[in-house]
Each structure stands twice: as structure tokens, then as C-alpha cells.
Amino acid sequence: MAAAESWLYPTPRGLYCAAGKFHVDPPAGAERALITHGHSDHARSGHANVLATAETIAIMQERYGARSAGTFQAVRYDEPLVIGGVRVAFVPAGHILGSAQIVLEWGGKRVVVSGDYKRAPDPTCAPFEPVKCDVFVTEATFALPVFHHGPVEREIQKLLQSMARQPARIHLIGAYGLGKCQRLIKLLRIAGYDRPIWLHDALAGLTHLYQRLGQDLGEVRIVPDEADGVPAGALVLCPPSSIGDRWARRFGDTVTGFASGWMRVRGRARQQGVELPLVISDHADWTELLETIVETEAEDVWVTHGREDALVYQLGKMGRRARALSLVGLDEDDG
Ligand SMILES: [Zn+2]
Ligand SMILES: [Zn+2]
């Protein structure tokens, strides 16, 4: 049996499967790119051929244009195909709509490239499916024991209670535009919030795409240019970078919040001027990372994307072979 490293390895152009002649989540234009999900640090434009779930393709086309790759080929979850002798399957990752782990089998070894993932339930995407494998490639965004995300329902109640206590103030909440924003809306709807939710126009395109792809998000409205267009007490979602900028001043005295796994770190919330930190993450926390790795029964764990050192060290203590994969172009854009 060929060690997985002999046919799948990191290159300056991303993780490369030599046996199948394709890259996974390549950072620059590749001949054949298999894409785990639509976040920009995984899905780039300019590939000759893209293989991804239909939702990921729709997200890429919304962001980069219909012709942002030479060809797009949609693949369904759990319907394996063969590329150059490598068996390939896309399996739900529970991270955002359309997100997938990519399962590769060749030479008697199975490798799971999990992309980004979480184990907490998310009403906007299919739940993570654990797959037993020889090598598990894991992210490490929140790979420190301090990161424990907790139930999202508690954070949603925190927001609803704040709005009930201060009914005249606009609540301005920062949320990443792909995944977090739409999950936050959906969670609020499930919790019974039925008023219109206002969006910064940078969040509109992908939110409308989620709606077109069948997600019921209730009534969403775009914040108009005129200062008086948004009623007192409204809930406004915006990109995190807009919380403190000129755009936000039109609302006057607001309660500002930020929905992110990073909000577990109090100093970080304070530093960003966030009054209402909401610990809502689309990534596995420390416990979920370790439990998931154990569940895969992988002998080897390749760690990327965040706190590689801490996770590699911990896995070593647990008697597993683990190493950091140095991949370029991956960053924490979607906590
Ligand atoms: Zn992501
Ligand atoms: Zn990522």
C-alpha cells in the first residue's frame, strides 16, 4: 500500500493529488480544482475545471461571475466518482450551505480532506458526516482549549433579550457575509423573531442566493441610503468591518454586536468596540476537533488552517501521528 503522502501532498499551488491530477481548494488557477466550500480562502476564481456541490458552484458564480471557471461540474453528496483512478466522494461538512469534506481513496488508503467543519447543528446546511479514514486533514481555526462555543440558542436569546430591553435602539450586528449571516437570520426566525431583518447591501447578494436555493429566511430588507429609512429598534446585520465605519454612523446610538467564535475572547470583543458579543461559530471548537478526530479513527492527522501547533501537540499526547500542513492562502476569514 502506498503511503498517502506519495500521492497527496501540499504544493505552493495547494494540496495536490498526484494520482488523480487535481488540486483541492487551490489558491490560484488550477487545471482541475475540487472545492470544499464557497469561502474565499477555499474557492477562488480562474480554474480551468471546477468540481464542487451545486450550492458551492452557485456561491462561486454569485461572487465571481458565471464564467469564473472554464467549466463547473456539480457533484452530489455521497455519490462517488472516479478521477484518474482515484475514488472521490463529497460528504457534508456542516460548515455552510454546500460545504463538503472530500473523501479520496487510492492505493488502499482513504484520506478525508475536511475543509472547514463544525458539529453543532445548523439549520442552513446538511450535518457533518464522520467518515472513518487512514488520514484526516483537519482545520484548526479554534484549536485551543479556551475555545468552547456553547449552544447557539443561548446567544440568540441574549440578542433577543437585549432588543426587548432596549426597544428603541437599533441593534447593529456584524456577521460574515457567507454562512454566518444567513444562519443568524434563520436561528432568529426559529426563535420566533418575525420582524423584517435589515441588511447592509454587501450581505444582500448571498442572502438572496440562499433564499433562491430554498432557505426560508423570512422578510429581509436592504438598508437604504437615506438615514431615516430604518425604523427605531430595528435589527441590522452588516459585515464586521462596517460596525465602526462611516456607514454605521447613520443609525446614531446603536447596540453593536458581532457573531463569531472569536467573541469567546473578551479582549477581542472589547478591542473591536463590541457591546454584545455573540459566540456563534461555523467551526468546530477544541472539544469538537478532538472528538471528531477520534471518531474518524485516522492514524495520521494533517493539520492546517489556524492553530496547527496546539492541535499537533495535543494529538501527540493522545498517541496519534499528527503534522502541520503548510498551505498558502488559508486564513481566518469566517470565524
Ligand atoms: Zn470556511
Ligand atoms: Zn476556511
What is the model's pLDDT at position 138? 97
CA of 137 to the centre of ligand 2 (A): 13
What is the model's pLDDT at position 329? 61
The CA R_g of the chain, rounded to the nearest whole Å, is 20
CA of 246 to the centre of ligand 1 (A): 28
What is the model's pLDDT at position 11? 93
Write down the mean pLDDT value for the chain.
94
Per DSSP, the three-state class of 107 is coil
CA of 330 to the centre of ligand 2 (A): 6
CA of 285 to the centre of ligand 1 (A): 14
CA of 236 to the centre of ligand 1 (A): 23
What is the model's pLDDT at position 111? 98
CA of 261 to the centre of ligand 1 (A): 13
Residue 327 CA to residue 21 CA, distance in Å, equals: 18
Counting ligands in written order, the one closest to the CA of 118 is 1
> Average pLDDT per run of 10 along the chain, which is 335 residues long?
88 94 96 97 96 98 97 97 97 98 97 97 98 97 94 98 97 97 98 98 98 98 87 96 91 95 87 91 97 97 91 95 80 57
CA of 324 to the centre of ligand 1 (A): 18
CA of 321 to the centre of ligand 1 (A): 25
What is the model's pLDDT at position 215? 97
Sequence-ordered strand ranges (E) for 93-234: 100-106, 109-113, 135-140, 170-174, 197-199, 220-222
Counting ligands in written order, the one closest to the CA of 282 is 1
Determine what percent of the chain falls in helix, strand and coil, rounding each to the nearest 5: 30, 25, 45
Residue 260 CA to residue 54 CA, distance in Å, equals: 26
What is the model's pLDDT at position 332? 46
User: Would you say how long the chain is, in residues?
Assistant: 335
CA of 284 to the centre of ligand 2 (A): 12
CA of 36 to the centre of ligand 2 (A): 9
Residue 314 one-letter amino acid: Q
CA of 116 to the centre of ligand 2 (A): 5
Does the predicted TM-score (pTM) go above 0.85?
Answer: yes
CA of 95 to the centre of ligand 1 (A): 7
Residue 303 one-letter amino acid: V
CA of 154 to the centre of ligand 1 (A): 23
> Which grid coordinates are listed for 123?
439549520
CA of 2 to the centre of ligand 2 (A): 29
List the Cα angle 218/223/224 in 5-degree steps: 130
CA of 229 to the centre of ligand 1 (A): 33
